[in-house]
Structure 1
Amino acid sequence: MAYIVAPITYSAEMTTSIPPARLFKAVILDHHLLPKVVPQAIKSVEIFEGDGGAGTIKKFPEYPFKSAKHRVETLDKDNFVYCFSVIESDALKEGIEKFTNEIKFEASPDGGSMCKTTSSIYTKGDVKIPEEEIQGGKQRSLGLFKAVEPYLLTNPDAYN
């Protein structure tokens, strides 16, 4: 009998000079920007079901695996919090039930943002996740925010 154990949880943080509201609009609310800024990683983001809010299913055909479907769990536009679960992906190999990710943008004292991500991998039984896979997940997540920063700096009127 399979059982779910406590999730493997890890966090990452990054600072940027972009204010939280602007970064949230660009990265979270506009699903057309990431394919434009990082086409080598994200070819497209398709809304498969829903209106973009909680319960929406998004399909990412190529990132970071062959295909992935995400379900939006939380979309808090006032507090700049976005949480989603990976519900279908070739990354959900045997022994992995699901992934969840929470992204939070907080104001920093210099007028920019602190981007905080918390990811959890829910496993069945005593499945072990290699440290390099965890580090790769952290780097991919923060890499997306870092890729958007130069775009927003060179396009100061975008997403205001």
Structure 2
Amino acid sequence: MASTKSWAHEIEASVAAPRLFRAGVMDWHTLAPKLAPQVVASAHPVEGEGGVGSVRQFNFTSAMPFSVVKERLDFLDADGCECRSTLLEGGHVGTVIETSTSCIKVEPAAGGGSVVKVESTYKLLPGVEEGEYEVAKAKESVTAIFKAAEAYLIANPDAYN
């Protein structure tokens, strides 16, 4: 029987938490195709206006092992720079995992920077071995997202203020 698993990851950044949260989480569907076109071909809202219940879709290039991901925003505290989302389809849903949720909190750090705290909880499909769901690859991908957003914000100091 498949069990629920989770992983946690922290990423340090040199930009303020509210800016990084807005760029790297709330508006990532707009920035990703511009900042990581080698990975994200396109992205767009599917339903909603960005609040709880909203769904957005990311379409990937051949650099990813899957072509699409749809995620739903389940919880949002924009002032507290925290959200939780559920993977609805795409990714490894239906092939490796049954369900997956991610919680992201961006907290202020010393010197005006921030720390991104990510926790992902997932349930493997019956018969799938733990190694088939690559936690290291997932952590690498989330780090790349926030490092790309950080670099963009450093290069564009007036963005997302």
Same fold (TM over 0.5): yes
Residue 26 of structure 1 pairs with residue 27 of structure 2:
no
Q: CA deviation at 1:128?
A: 2.4
| 1:123 to partner: Cα distance | 2.6
> Which secondary structure does the structure 1 equivalent of 2:51 belong to?
coil
Between structures 1 and 2, the one with greater strand share: 2
2 CA distance for matches of 1:23 and 1:142?
Answer: 13
Gaps of 5+ in 1: none
> In structure 2, how many angstroms separate the alpha carbons of the residues matched to 1:136 and 1:62?
15
Is the CA contact (8 Å cut-off) linking 2:84 and 2:101 kept in structure 1? yes
Amino acid at match of 1:22: R
Task: Please list the CA deviations of residues 110-139 of structure 1 after superposition, one character each: whole Å capped at 9, or x if unmatched.
Answer: 210001110111134463221771100010
TM-score by length of 1: 0.89
**How far did 1:8 drift?**
1.0
1:60 to 44, 58, 61: 58
RMSD of the TM alignment (CA)?
1.9
SS in 1 for 2:111: coil
Provide the rounded CA distance (Å) in 1 between the counterparts of 2:10 and 2:47. Answer: 30
State the 1:155 CA deviation: 0.9
Q: Which runs of 5+ in 2 are unaligned?
A: none
Q: Which residue of 1 aligns with 2:152?
A: 151
Which 4+ stretches in 1 moved above 4 angstroms? none
Contact kept, 8 Å, 2:85 with 2:103, in 1: the verdict is: yes
Match of 1:85 in 2: 86
User: Alpha carbons of 1:90 and 1:77: their partners in 2 closer, same or farther (altered >3 Å)?
Assistant: closer
Could you tell me the TM-score, scaled by structure 2's length?
0.88
Distance change (3 Å), C-alpha of 1:94 and 1:40: closer
Number of matched pairs:
157
Matches within 5 A, 1:1-160: 5=3, 7-30=4-27, 31-62=29-60, 64=64, 65-94=66-95, 96-125=97-126, 127-130=128-131, 133-160=134-161
Amino acid corresponding to residue 12 of structure 2 in structure 1:
T
Question: Partner of 2:158: helix, strand, or coil?
Answer: coil
- 14-23 or 92-101, which moves further after superposition? 92-101
Cα offset, 1:51, TM superposition: 1.5
Contact 2:96 2:133 in 1 (8 A): no
